[in-house]
Structure 1
Amino acid sequence: MALKVGIQLYSVRESLKADPYGTLAKVAEAGFKYLEAANHDAANDDGVGFGVPADALKKSLADLGMSIVGSHINPLDPARIPAVLDYHQELGNKQIGCDIEFFPYQDMDYVMRRCELFNKVGELCQERGMRFYYHNHYMEFQKFGPENKCVEDIIMENTDPGKVFLELDTYWVFRGGQNPIEYIQKYKDRLVLLHQKDFPSEAPQPIDVYDGILNTNANIDMTVFGAVKNPLCFTEIGTGILPIQDIIDTAQDCPNLEYIILEQDSTQLTEIESINRSMDAFHKFKGIEWA
């Protein structure tokens, strides 16, 4: 089954802050119909992170022929989840996720407590007929503990597969020194969203952050994460060196996967120019659809 192509609104976050409705119109004009939000103010904002009421956003999306197909919620506070789910149910969005609040990674007790939290949030979502998913960065591919396992596998092994699903960010899997194609195959039944970025051919860092940039035993916090995240290690999607067609081909066999979501963390262009260039470049791939 062809994957529908969407866009992560984190790609246009500064534009959204300045003009949320105008920015959505420009995203629609670029040709994107499927949106994933990134709410990093979920302690105060029930919605998609740029302070708009659900009814007004629902009307704007309908007028533009767009829909929200997922949303990152940060911080992930169980006390706030019911209000968040109310908002997203009004929009028609059926799934929310957790993106980057998983520190420190080398404390097994902490990792297990987070797994318990993910199960709890997953149950809250399940009660509403919704899904909860976990989104990775490179830190999840550190190995530690008595069995020398990476955090990504620990999460998958210690959460309920009926309550906690997976959004695999292929760029960050590569940057964690692993092969995303193997992870797509390994967790194909739990994969519900796929994130696609791209890595430039001439980058100031090796693709694997553990190849001379960070020690595999580093205690990674937000400061370390930000220092490693070099803006010049991103390029518009479809213009770099990642094996995107192989990723798409492998993902065709995932029974619960409907969308591949493009995301631009950093760009040397304006945000709107960037998503337009990714849109143009991504058309060369097979096994995708836009409507």
Structure 2
Amino acid sequence: MQIFTMRSLVSSTLGLEGTLEIAADAGVKQAELAGSFYDRSPAELRQIFRSFDIKIASNHFGPRGGSEVLPWATPEGRSAIYRDAEALGFPLVGTGSLGGIIARDNHTRDEYLRAADLFNQWGRDAKQNGMAGFFFHNHDREFALDGQGKPLFDLFLENTDPEYVFFELDLGWVAVSGQDPKKYIDTYQSRIPYFHVKDVKWDPAGNRTAAAGTVNAGRNFRFTDVGKGDVDWADVLSPIRNWGRHRFFLEHDDAGDLALNPAGSANTIWRGCSHLHELPRRRR
């Protein structure tokens, strides 16, 4: 799971440990952090997760907003990331935001090519310092069209070195943008060690709107539990050739909002694990 899904439980009286107990009971074996270490050291946090038989497999290393300091920009910032990743127990480091890299209102070909060059530099530096490389996690806005009918995200794939730069493909956000997540898996799966698995329900009264410039720009939707939305997961994931080479992190951005998700985030994790476990049977 991406622990961001259960953030409302972590901040409740359950705390981190109570939340992890629910996740473990649901079948979660690996988790991705969302940048927060919950006032623990990386080593302490790793031990807490391990006590519930959950491995910390990844983290989004800042920033989450354009006003925050970009740790990737300096050797000192990157060194701190590598130390934390080693203490947490995983070798691939990355970010879930273009904050501090590209301004929200400046998504252009030139800016994406500049960002791709930065990804190459950071991936090479990570590799030279004993890590496996650098990864980037998408949202829908990276799939805005470039004026020639091509998603800007494709510039990252085409202009980064496969030896150093990888991707965490958020399949829900790809679907929101109007692009086909299955095609990206089919073509680029060797560069996608991680997936975010989140479901989408198109709804004229939905609380969210697809990003400007995308195929679905302005279309309303809402996130829902995996298996309850409009994404056909058996079909989308069908091109995967070696399931063991990938990690599938369940995520629901609004899971903790009881007005939008009355059953709550614990149910979201239970249902998502159950649905994903059923997929291999459906394929046989």
TM-score grouping bracket, smaller chain normalisation: 0.7 to 0.9
Partner SS state of residue 137, structure 1: coil
After superposition, what is the alpha-carbon deviation per residue over 1:191-213, rounded to whole angstroms, capped at 9, x for unaligned?
Answer: 11111111237563599937xxx
Between 165-174 and 102-111, the greater mean CA deviation after superposition? 102-111
Residue 28 (structure 1) aligned to one of 24, 29, 38: 24
Matches of 2:247 and 2:281, distance apart in 1: 11
Residue 89 (structure 1) aligned to one of 86, 89, 94: 86
Matches of 2:91 and 2:213, distance apart in 1: 39
Cα root mean square deviation, aligned: 3.0
Question: Structure 1 residues 209 and 23, CA, compared in 2 at 3 Å: closer, same or farther?
Answer: same
Q: Counterpart of 2:180?
A: 179
Q: Counterpart of 2:112?
A: 111
Q: Counterpart of 1:13?
A: 7
Q: Counterpart of 2:51?
A: 63
1:285 shift after superposition: 1.3
Between 196-205 and 70-79, the greater mean CA deviation after superposition? 196-205
Matches of 1:72 and 1:216, distance apart in 2: 24
After superposition, what is the alpha-carbon deviation per residue over 1:169-196, rounded to whole angstroms, capped at 9, x for unaligned?
Answer: 1111111111111111221221111111
Question: Structure 1 residues 38 and 117, CA, compared in 2 at 3 Å: closer, same or farther?
Answer: same
Q: Counterpart of 1:286?
A: 280
1:67 shift after superposition: 0.5
Matches of 1:100 and 1:22, distance apart in 2: 29
Question: Which amino acid counterpart does residue 69 of structure 1 have in structure 2?
Answer: A
Question: Which amino acid counterpart does residue 272 of structure 1 have in structure 2?
Answer: A
Question: Structure 1 residues 99 and 179, CA, compared in 2 at 3 Å: closer, same or farther?
Answer: same
Partner SS state of residue 51, structure 2: helix
1:148 shift after superposition: 4.9
Does the aligned pair in 2 maintain the 1:170–1:194 contact within 8 Å? yes
Question: Which amino acid counterpart does residue 144 of structure 1 have in structure 2?
Answer: D
TM-score (norm 2): 0.80
After superposition, what is the alpha-carbon deviation per residue over 1:255-276, rounded to whole angstroms, capped at 9, x for unaligned?
Answer: x832121111113132223222
Does the aligned pair in 2 maintain the 1:134–1:166 contact within 8 Å? yes
Q: Counterpart of 2:144?
A: 142
Matches of 1:217 and 1:280, distance apart in 2: 32
TM-score (norm 1): 0.78
Question: Structure 1 residues 32 and 116, CA, compared in 2 at 3 Å: closer, same or farther?
Answer: same
Question: Structure 1 residues 283 and 216, CA, compared in 2 at 3 Å: closer, same or farther?
Answer: closer
Partner SS state of residue 187, structure 1: helix
Between 244-253 and 99-108, the greater mean CA deviation after superposition? 99-108
Matches of 1:241 and 1:277, distance apart in 2: 15
Equivalent runs, 1:225-264 vs 2, <5 Å: 233-252=222-241, 257-264=245-252
Does the aligned pair in 2 maintain the 1:168–1:191 contact within 8 Å? yes
Question: Structure 1 residues 287 and 154, CA, compared in 2 at 3 Å: closer, same or farther?
Answer: farther
Question: Which amino acid counterpart does residue 63 of structure 1 have in structure 2?
Answer: S
1:130 shift after superposition: 2.2
Between 272-281 and 188-197, the greater mean CA deviation after superposition? 272-281
Q: Counterpart of 1:98?
A: 95
After superposition, what is the alpha-carbon deviation per residue over 1:233-268, rounded to whole angstroms, capped at 9, x for unaligned?
Answer: 1111112221101122212357x8321211111131
Does the aligned pair in 2 maintain the 1:26–1:272 contact within 8 Å? yes
Question: Structure 1 residues 265 and 207, CA, compared in 2 at 3 Å: closer, same or farther?
Answer: closer
Does the aligned pair in 2 maintain the 1:199–1:207 contact within 8 Å? no
User: Which structure has more RCO (C-alpha within 8 Å, separation ≥ 6)?
Assistant: 1
Structure 1: runs of 5 or more not aligned: 1-6, 40-47, 221-227
Matches of 1:239 and 1:25, distance apart in 2: 24
Partner SS state of residue 50, structure 1: coil
Figure out how many residues of one structure are paired with residues of the other and give that number.
Answer: 260
Partner SS state of residue 144, structure 1: coil
Identity in percent: 27
Q: Counterpart of 1:4?
A: none
Partner SS state of residue 278, structure 2: coil
Question: Which amino acid counterpart does residue 131 of structure 1 have in structure 2?
Answer: G
